[in-house]
Amino acid sequence: MKANKPTIDEIARKLGISKMTVSRAINHPEKVGKKTLERVTQIMDEMDYKPKLVARVMAGSESKTIGFFIKPNKDFIIPPFYGECVKGATDWLKMLDYSTLIFNASEERSKKLFVDYVNSNLIDGAVVFEGSYDETLLKALKNNNIPAVSVGEENAGEFDIPTISADNYTGSLRAVTHLVDVGCKKIVHITGKGEKPSYDMRSRGYMEVLNKNGLEPKIIRTENTVEGGIEGVDLLLKSGVVFDGIFCFSDLVAWGALKRLYNTALKVPEDVKVIGFDNIPLAEYTTPSLSTVSQNMREMSKFAVGMLIQIIGGKKPEKEHLKFDTDLVIRESTEKVPERE
């Protein structure tokens, strides 16, 4: 039943030549006689021969594969922000003739598999995303001398790997300034629990703008998920705080905020304006559609991947912490009032 996979030896034997010639026909065809090359090619085809990757890698070949570490959240195996980054990176890696492989940063088994792969040279480097690094993981990367770059967070704490991120501070300046511009006087900020540079930076931008405009700040902390947004607005409503603008840490949170506001007397954007951060594809699909600060995930990850390839190649990259500029994207949730037909 099981078709045994042919080996290079069988191919060689069938042709009455040495397996080295076959190997060369595959990897350095120019070093093989034209006639032999043809015969080899044909019989490899016939027998559906494929060299075993493991044998190749064991013999010292590069695997040309990059691993991505991503931490799922409650609703997404690959949260939209990372998804965009992966798309960008994959597209770029394809041009460099690299494959990509995604690992689940929340699963012990997956983490272990990754370390095994690296250890076996099945993976040449890693891209770890904002939120996906914990101590175990980064320690493993370090101990195994695995080239790695981080995307989405401004620094990687105690681990000195290069980081590529949006400029969160100026991004939040843009967002909150926009809210002020469209007339908000009581702006609330919903951000995440815990300690992340991005939480900190975006809060800082928020505080800055509010101070400059003599407005009273109010920060709510929930999970960075749709549910977190729902919960955030819920807390606001219950606390009786009056507000006419919400700056959410992420589009997911903003989505939750919109969702919760929908079932109240407060209309968006008439009574409350909501703005998010990231510009994930779904931001277009919320009701009303979501204004946000756009991170250029594609560009960021493209850059990150380029850097990673350089490190793998042995070069030290110059810039260790790179910040990309952001764009304000205005949609219905802060300005345009949808026209009802």
Partner DNA sequence: TGTCATAATGTTACCGGTAACATATTGAGG
Partner DNA sequence: CCTCAATATGTTACCGGTAACATTATGACA
Q: Residue 210's CB: how many other CB atoms inside 10 A?
A: 20
151 near 165, Cβ under 8 Å? yes
Please list the alpha-helical segments (H only) found in 216-273. Answer: 226-239, 251-262
**CA 129 to mean position of chain CA atoms:** 5
Question: Is there binding between residue 21 and DNA (CB under 7 A)?
Answer: yes
Least distance CB 141 / DNA (angstroms): 19
256 binds, among its own copies, DNA, none (CB under 5 to 8 A by kind): its own copies
Cβ proximity to its own copies, 168 vs 279, nearer residue: 279
Question: Is there binding between residue 314 and DNA (CB under 7 A)?
Answer: no
Least distance CB 237 / its own copies (angstroms): 8
Cβ proximity to its own copies, 192 vs 256, nearer residue: 256
Question: Is there binding between residue 159 and its own copies (CB under 8 A)?
Answer: no
Question: Is there binding between residue 42 and DNA (CB under 7 A)?
Answer: no
75 binds, among its own copies, DNA, none (CB under 5 to 8 A by kind): its own copies
Question: Is there binding between residue 55 and DNA (CB under 7 A)?
Answer: yes
Q: Long-range CB contacts (< 8 A, 24+ apart) of 256-259?
A: 256/225, 256/226, 256/227, 256/228, 256/229, 256/230, 256/231, 256/232, 257/190, 257/229, 257/230, 257/232, 257/233, 258/229, 258/286, 258/287, 258/288, 258/290, 258/333, 259/226, 259/229, 259/230
Taking CB under 7 A as the criterion, the residue among 1, 2, 3, 34 binding DNA is 34
- Name the segment binding its own copies (CB under 8 A); options: 160-168, 171-179, 243-251, 278-286: 278-286
Q: Residue 62's CB: how many other CB atoms inside 10 A?
A: 11
- Name the segment binding its own copies (CB under 8 A); options: 10-18, 95-103, 186-194, 204-212: 95-103
Max CA pair span of the chain: 87
238 binds, among its own copies, DNA, none (CB under 5 to 8 A by kind): none
Contacts of 125 (CB under 8 A, 6+ apart): 66, 67, 146, 147, 148, 149, 308, 309, 311, 312
Cβ proximity to DNA, 12 vs 201, nearer residue: 12
Taking CB under 8 A as the criterion, the residue among 20, 33, 287, 327 binding its own copies is 287
46 binds, among DNA, its own copies, none (CB under 5 to 8 A by kind): none
Least distance CB 262 / its own copies (angstroms): 4
Pairwise CA distance, residues 315 & 203, whole Å = 36
Contacts of 236 (CB under 8 A, 6+ apart): 188, 220, 243
Least distance CB 316 / its own copies (angstroms): 10
Q: What is the DSSP string of 116-163?
A: HHHHTTS--EEEEETT---HHHHHHHHHTT--EEEESSS--TTS---E
- The site for its own copies (CB under 8 A) is made up of 1-3, 5, 48, 50, 52-55, 57-58, 65, 72, 74-78, 80, 83, 86-87, 90, 94, 98-104, 107, 109-110, 112-113, 115-117, 119-122, 143-145, 226, 255-256, 258-259, 262-265, 281-282, 285-288, 338-341
- The site for DNA (CB under 7 A) is made up of 5, 7-9, 16-21, 23-24, 26-27, 30-37, 49, 51-52, 55-56, 58-61
